[in-house]
Chains A and B, each alone.
Chain A
């Protein structure tokens, strides 16, 4: 017989979470402006084709083109000191925004006493957080500050979209989501998506960037390398996320794979990213073609995230999109 139960939601924490997310959006936007100033008034780079390495002409082995067609980046005139400082302020603001984002996620989790990524709103917030985290972590070791403006604006837009169109009140979730698998499967999907976002941003910049022209962006090769590195890191995580999803489906629905729309699109995303990795090893597909494939894969990822929840009905209809 049914036994009505009340699930307590800590309303003040839930409100705090909503406020923190708003603060995050503002901080990311402010950071974006700082990065943009750095880009606009900082150093411009020109990519000049460096001289080919001699060994090629001498009947050496066929080296991949990026080893032979070396490029060097010549720097423009001394950048304005304040512009460089603006970039530094951008990084600091991003870190503060990151902390606010984290706080927003944690308070939401504590408010409802469960993993805070069980509906579309929470999921999108977490993915934006993951993208900024991926950027900040990569920034520790690599000079990719130029990506800052693009990553923060993407995250701010994503969060804004979540707040405006996807927001639902903090609350309990359906029984199918009561599982430790949500911690494993969804977390992996979020981490991978965050990295894929960084890769996607770099790939778009790659296609925009023209060779041999002065630009505030680094050379195509650097952009390509950032994208590749992010994808290579994200791909095994995504693979794991899909497998963990299958394990969960096996527990919850009685089959590990059933071609539910969400499963179909995770699979498509996976296959297209695999195609990207293959393209990089195939003559005639390196460079631009491979980057375009990675963007197709990224589009599939985004469609799976947003489109599938909205257009298709399936077992994965927990998205809880506000009507």
Chain B
């Protein structure tokens, strides 16, 4: 029982914050508004609340993976509404199709980040003080520390201090002792990590406000210029104005897709390549760009991505009066990715005497199969179209918005006898329509690509914040805070040390042994790794203690001290001192 108080002071830290909090916590309620506010703030910034909010954050994300999300796949949400209308309505009431932009999800993460801020700002102050503080004076009996050793030596205090300084300890010298401390980077890293999370939140938020995202479909030979009207779907942040769009433009010269030609994986895509001619601004010289998956086009931070492709067969429709009423490509949607059998719709509102509409099935590599025709390969090796013509009212005047990929057949009647498998047309062939309604010619095959264009000013700050978070995390999880004291008296040197980081005992034992060796100025008595983890029984320094826990040498349970017999892993008794003041830290 030599010096408990000393030991206590050796491991104890600034306890100001902790004490303050404990008092606050235990104070009875009924304090008036200020007291309640303080209580609320304390509760919000406590570790337990942080823990609960973390769970809620995780739990709240789950429905976002179960239900289709508008921000990810609006078509699937529409499908859900069609299939289960009542259920969908209820889900929608709880924002379950917009989980990640819902008020309740925002409430969770805002509370969490408020808690985070409230937790780390005070810790910065504590840590700033801590960094400037000197290591505490040596406890009386160093051998009572989790790591301790004594030996005879002519070592002076100055030499000990110098040796510890060389190991980049912070060192103070007192009357007959040297105190040293190291590993402040742990808390620094922890704070950096938590601040980086705050930074990440701001970067993501700013990106959402000042950035935009849009989709557009471009057929070979056509172009695009970056203006709101040119998009098929445009999703701006609330701070985006039409003028802030980067004024670039491009033409799609050619698109190439390659597929596995034969074998098990026949038809699996291998590579996509879109050849663009890009003008960075209306006055800039054109440049040639190869756009590929994973290789977006970058114009001053506005990025254009290749995200999809398909076929756009071209047609010429001549109406009943002999006039060309439609000429050009028709983008088709693939029904089946493996064969690229695609469906297209042609609407010819200008046809006379009645409007014409066509459903078209496009088969890129056609082979007969019984009395039907199928596509067997996604590449256009033998492209044909099967045409289903209609005449009547396309319903475009009703004012209802219509999809270009759907034909509303309510006021249309089929032209001629409808067969499920009309004879396919090859490129160049023409189909005469029944009732003298005109003719349609399959003139060629083009391809289309779909592009996503994004501008997100938060990308780089977010990356910086994420990198800082990783660095902070690694520091805070790998650095150990440790203290070491040396006492020199009458030619006897006593060294004691402890690590203030839980679980850091085994590694510290090694470091401690090395330091002791260095202070001794010679090789250790029993080899480098010799029982370093063991603490000699108090007051009886022992050198070259045999290693415990070897198979075949059963150890009796340790009489005194370390208690780690039989299991070197047990680095429990390494003096896991209470870390800095935090609400409900023990």
Contact = CB atoms under 8 A, between A and B. Distances in A.
26 contacts: A5-B258, A43-B551, A43-B554, A45-B566, A60-B11, A63-B578, A75-B555, A84-B552, A176-B293, A221-B572, A222-B569, A228-B503, A239-B469, A252-B294, A253-B305, A254-B296, A255-B213, A256-B462, A257-B204, A271-B58, A272-B55, A278-B50, A281-B579, A283-B47, A285-B48, A314-B72
B262 A254 contact: no
Given A67-B573, A255-B454, 13 more contacts: A48-B557, A58-B4, A63-B575, A71-B563, A84-B552, A172-B268, A176-B293, A225-B503, A239-B469, A254-B453, A275-B55, A278-B54, A285-B48
Nearest to B49: A282
B131 to A, nearest CB: 20
Interface in B36-93: 47-48, 50-51, 54-55, 57-58, 61-62, 64-66, 69, 71-72
Contact of B380 (A1, A58, A142, A300): A1
B569 A143 contact: yes
What 9 pairs across the A-B complex have the smallest Cβ distances? A2-B379, A58-B4, A4-B261, A254-B305, A254-B452, A264-B65, A261-B65, A60-B8, A271-B58
B563 A72 contact: yes
Nearest to B311: A2
B565 interface: yes
Contact of A260 (B50, B72, B555): B72
Given A175-B269, A175-B292, A251-B296, A272 B58 contact: yes
Contacts of A252: 293-294, 305
A157 interface: no
Interface stretch (A100-108, A203-211, A229-237): A229-237
Contacts, number: 279
B260 A264 contact: no
Contacts of A1: 254, 256, 380
Interface string A253-295: 1111111110011011001101100111111111000000000
Interface string B538-556: 0000000000010110111
A220 to B, nearest CB: 11
Nearest to B267: A4
Contact of A2 (B12, B257, B552): B257
A272 to B, nearest CB: 5
B456 interface: yes
Contacts of A225: 503, 569-572
Nearest to A77: B554
Interface residues of A, number: 99
A147 B444 CA distance: 66
B367 to A, nearest CB: 15
B51 A278 contact: yes
B336 interface: no
A275 B262 contact: no
Interface stretch (B120-128, B157-165, B238-246, B470-478): B470-478
